């Protein structure tokens, strides 16, 4: 074997050794933790709360899931409710909108056609009117009975929003890790600085994004049952709470 061949062979041996060393170091190096820490840092106790849900698909299953149950309003300051008596829903006279987290006792679920429901032709000669699926309830401590819509039925096809409308567990227990001053503000239906977006929603009801998002900052407007409030959040914490027009 010539000296040149020996030299080339030696170079290949050295390169192979370096490659083996690099592979060994790569496979035995500690697992990077930076990304894991960043991911975990975005989690908090709220992310581990799993509210009870139902899986109603029609009137019969909605009755089974809701009749006799105690619920709390999730979609606060959003849903109109109506007086109910002797099997009749008075759609013409709204009793108002359900406040956030109001406690309700549900007695039944019914279907009813609102007076302004339009007739729709689904096939030649076949016309139907959309029916409202409504929960019949009494607010806690109240004697009067009311109805609130949970969805609709069109020719037997149901669209229900039960889990979006109600909590089936007391939110005070679900989120008992929240500070007492936060819960006191929520129960007063008041937003305060430092609240998360979920906490403000529990206090004021549904909010509408104002399209002012910049990075981690966003602004929502809450109708708050006719007393509008604008709340700016930064990193999911309220930094500004002001009345809105």
202 in a structural domain: yes
Average pLDDT estimate for 3-24: 46
Residue 208: pLDDT above 90?
A: yes
- Give start and end residues of each alpha helix (H) in the chain: 3-28, 34-41, 59-66, 162-165, 171-174, 180-187, 197-204
* Same domain membership, residue 203 and residue 112: no
* Same domain membership, residue 157 and residue 73: yes
35 in a structural domain: no
The DSSP secondary structure of 201-240, one letter per residue, reads HHHH--EEE-S--BTTEEEEEE-TTTS-EEEEEETTEEEE
Average pLDDT estimate for 170-182: 98
pLDDT per residue over 127-173, tens digit each? Answer: 788 999 999 999 999 999 999 999 999 988 999 999 999 999 999 99
Say what the pLDDT of residue 128 is.
Answer: 82
* Same domain membership, residue 218 and residue 184: yes
Rounded CA-CA distance 59/75 in Å is 21
Of the candidates 110, 133, 167, which is a domain's last residue? Answer: 167
Q: How many CA atoms lie within 13 A of 75 on its CB side?
A: 14
* Same domain membership, residue 162 and residue 65: yes
pLDDT per residue over 210-234, tens digit each? Answer: 987 888 999 999 999 999 999 999 9
Rounded CA-CA distance 181/179 in Å is 6
* Same domain membership, residue 199 and residue 121: no
Q: Locate 241 and state its tokens.
A: 């709470």
Residue 121: pLDDT above 90?
A: no
Say what the pLDDT of residue 49 is.
Answer: 97
Is residue 163 within 8 Å of residue 75, measured between CB atoms? no
Say what the pLDDT of residue 14 is.
Answer: 43
Residue 34: pLDDT above 80?
A: no
65 in a structural domain: yes
Q: How far apart are the first and last CA of the chain?
A: 93
41 in a structural domain: no
* Domain encompassing residue 118: 59-167
Is residue 82 within 8 Å of residue 148, measured between CB atoms? yes
Say what the pLDDT of residue 31 is.
Answer: 41
* Same domain membership, residue 181 and residue 127: no
Of the candidates 154, 140, 76, 69, the residue with the CA atom closest to the CA atom of residue 103: 140
* Same domain membership, residue 150 and residue 81: yes
Rounded mean pLDDT of the chain? Answer: 86
* Same domain membership, residue 225 and residue 150: no
214 in a structural domain: yes
Of the candidates 133, 167, 201, which is a domain's last residue? Answer: 167
Angle at 95 between CA 105 and CA 128, to 5 degrees: 85
Indicate the number of domains in the chain: 2
pLDDT per residue over 70-111, tens digit each? Answer: 999 999 999 999 999 999 999 999 999 999 999 999 999 999
């Amino acid at each position: 074997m010539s000296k040149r061949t020996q030299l080339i062979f030696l170079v290949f041996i050295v390169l192979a050794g370096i490659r083996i060393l690099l592979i060994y170091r790569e496979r035995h190096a500690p697992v990077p933790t930076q990304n894991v820490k960043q991911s975990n840092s975005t989690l908090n106790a709220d992310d581990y709360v799993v509210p009870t849900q139902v899986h109603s698909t029609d009137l019969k299953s909605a009755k089974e899931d809701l009749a006799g149950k105690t619920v709390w309003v999730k979609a606060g300051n959003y849903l109109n409710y109506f007086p109910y008596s002797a099997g009749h829903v008075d759609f013409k006279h709204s009793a108002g909108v359900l406040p956030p987290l109001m406690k309700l006792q549900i007695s039944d679920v019914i279907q009813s056609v609102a007076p302004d429901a339009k007739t729709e032709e689904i096939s030649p000669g076949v016309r139907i009117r959309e029916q409202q699926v409504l929960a019949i309830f009494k607010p806690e401590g109240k004697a009067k009975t009311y109805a609130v819509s949970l969805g609709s039925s069109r020719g037997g096809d149901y669209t229900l929003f039960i889990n979006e409308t109600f909590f089936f567990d007391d939110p005070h227990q679900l989120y008992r890790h929240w500070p007492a001053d936060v819960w006191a503000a929520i129960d007063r239906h008041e937003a305060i600085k430092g609240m998360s977006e979920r906490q403000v929603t529990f206090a004021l009801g549904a909010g509408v994004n104002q399209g002012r998002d910049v990075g981690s900052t966003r602004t929502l407007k809450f109708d708050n049952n006719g007393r509008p409030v604008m709340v700016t959040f930064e990193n999911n914490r309220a930094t500004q709470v002001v009345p809105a027009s």
